[in-house]
Amino acid sequence: MARVLSGIQPSGELHVGNYFGAVQSWVADQDLNEAFYCIVDLHALTVDIAPAELRKRTLETATTLLAAGLDPDRCTLFVQSQVAEHTGLTWLLECVATFGELRRMTQFKDKSGEGSHPSKSEAVRVGLFTYPVLMAADILLYNADRVPVGDDQRQHLELARNLALRFNGRFGQVVTVPEASVPAVGARVMDLQHPDRKMSKTAMSPTGTIGVLDPPNTIASKVRKAVTDTETEVRYDPISKPGVSNLLELLAAATRGDPAELAKRFSSYGSLKTEVAEALSESLRPLRERHAQLSADPQAVLASLAAGAAKASSVAKVTLTRAQAAMGLLAAW
Ligand code: TYM
């Protein structure tokens, strides 16, 4: 059985990019693999967030993941900060990673505004810079074979692989070298208002982002307003028709179809938009319904997270101890 691990930031409500790019695969992966899924609250501390808000969003993210179909009997769902080994392995890997390779991470460049005003980088948190090392620790602690993620995480995965190879090369075979697993459809869902940018909670584009809990009329209104182009032909061509192609990609992700094939069924943007809105609402309906039930019992969600953390910790401990010994740290007597 392969080991699968993935993580998500506690941004509260997930959007359909998170859902089709990652979470849908997580649900499917529970059955055939030993699956670990982590709500990465330590990663959320790399930018400004109020303590009460972080706590609320972490619980909300857990509730939504359970509503999406993660089943604590078939996977290990846990909160990163409840498993202390994540920060323990991070330090060891920080002493393997180089400044140069972290500086090349494009997400760091985007989020830190590197290259803009020098005074800006003075205020960037060190944690934002070392973020990808914490992510590598998340993965390597569980000796994950496969990491299901959206397209934007490829570079971070490459770093995790390089750190694993370097660690094993220097200190002996301790960690598994992981593979990224990116879905064929839905790996890069774009903002409906700015189809040249990926859909993101932080993009501040409320009409361009569809939340997984949006009611059907909200979904319909956002899809109706989605930016297309001045032609009228429905064709899958992400370069010259990014808006229309994004809608076809969403339809394909929701119906498990093929975007180029689906395009042939439509003679107007109007009919495509109607069908996209219906397919999204329908595919998210079970999640919306389960979310309403689960939110009524937050104690049950907290209890399943505690059980998940205990399970995760028992696996993580073994790897951390092996990594410490391999690097020459003296074991406690
Ligand atoms: P995060 O929280 O930004 O996103 C969670 C997952 O959703 C995917 N995703 C998308 N997929 C398609 N289209 C989009 N517009 C879109 N936006 C987000 C992401 O690729 C991701 O798979 N650094 C990670 C969290 C992390 C992690 C890990 C992931 C921490 N440790 C260990 C895997 C393994 C992140 O910020 O994801």
Report the C-alpha gap between 329 and 333 in whole angstroms: 12
Q: Catalytic residue at 222?
A: no
Given this model, what pLDDT does residue 111 score? Answer: 83
Specify whether the backbone of 40 is left (phi greater than 0), alpha (psi in -120 to 50) or beta: beta
Residue with tokens 């090392």: 133
Q: What pTM was computed for the model? A: 0.96
Report the C-alpha gap between 299 and 41 in whole angstroms: 19
- Round to the nearest angstrom and report the end-to-end CA distance of the chain: 35
Given this model, what pLDDT does residue 43 score? Answer: 97
**Helix boundaries (H) for the chain:** 16-18, 24-32, 41-44, 51-68, 85-94, 99-103, 106-112, 118-122, 126-140, 154-171, 216-224, 242-255, 259-263, 269-295, 298-327
Given this model, what pLDDT does residue 119 score? Answer: 59
- Ligand 1 pocket check: which of 6, 18, 129 to mutate, most ligand atoms within 8 Å of Cβ? 18
Report the C-alpha gap between 115 and 18 in whole angstroms: 28
Yes or no: say if 246 and 190 are a contact pair by the CB < 8 Å rule. yes
Given this model, what pLDDT does residue 304 score? Answer: 97
Given this model, what pLDDT does residue 108 score? Answer: 87
Given this model, what pLDDT does residue 114 score? Answer: 67
* CA 23 to ligand 1 centroid distance, Å: 9
**What does the pLDDT profile of the chain (333 residues) look like in tens digits?**
899 999 999 987 899 999 999 999 999 999 999 999 999 999 999 999 999 999 999 999 999 999 999 999 999 999 999 999 999 999 999 999 999 999 999 888 888 876 666 556 778 899 999 999 999 999 999 999 999 999 999 999 999 999 999 999 999 999 999 999 999 999 999 999 999 999 998 766 889 999 999 999 999 999 999 999 889 999 999 999 999 999 999 999 999 999 999 999 999 999 999 999 999 999 999 999 999 999 999 999 999 999 999 999 999 999 999 999 999 999 988
Q: What are phi and psi of 210, to 5 degrees?
A: -100, 120
Given this model, what pLDDT does residue 15 score? Answer: 97
Q: Catalytic residue at 201?
A: yes
Yes or no: say if 329 and 320 are a contact pair by the CB < 8 Å rule. no
Look up residue 86 and give its two tokens: 């994540």
Report the C-alpha gap between 111 and 249 in whole angstroms: 26
Yes or no: say if 159 and 105 are a contact pair by the CB < 8 Å rule. yes
- From the candidates 56, 109, 120, 201, give the one annotated as an active-site residue: 201
Specify whether the backbone of 263 is left (phi greater than 0), alpha (psi in -120 to 50) or beta: alpha
Report the C-alpha gap between 133 and 92 in whole angstroms: 10
Given this model, what pLDDT does residue 109 score? Answer: 84
Look up residue 211 and give its two tokens: 């939340």
Given this model, what pLDDT does residue 316 score? Answer: 98
Given this model, what pLDDT does residue 116 score? Answer: 62
Q: Using one digit for the tens of pLDDT, what is the confidence trace for 15-41?
A: 999 999 999 999 999 999 999 999 999
Look up residue 157 and give its two tokens: 């995965």
* CA 148 to ligand 1 centroid distance, Å: 9
Given this model, what pLDDT does residue 118 score? Answer: 58
Q: Which amino acid is at 321?
A: T
Given this model, what pLDDT does residue 113 score? Answer: 78
* CA 129 to ligand 1 centroid distance, Å: 17
Given this model, what pLDDT does residue 123 score? Answer: 82
Given this model, what pLDDT does residue 76 score? Answer: 98
Ligand 1 lining (C-beta closer than 6 Å): 5-9, 17-18, 21-22, 40, 43, 135, 138-139, 147, 149-150, 152-153, 156, 187-189, 198-200
Report the C-alpha gap between 243 and 16 in whole angstroms: 16
Residue with tokens 């202390």: 84
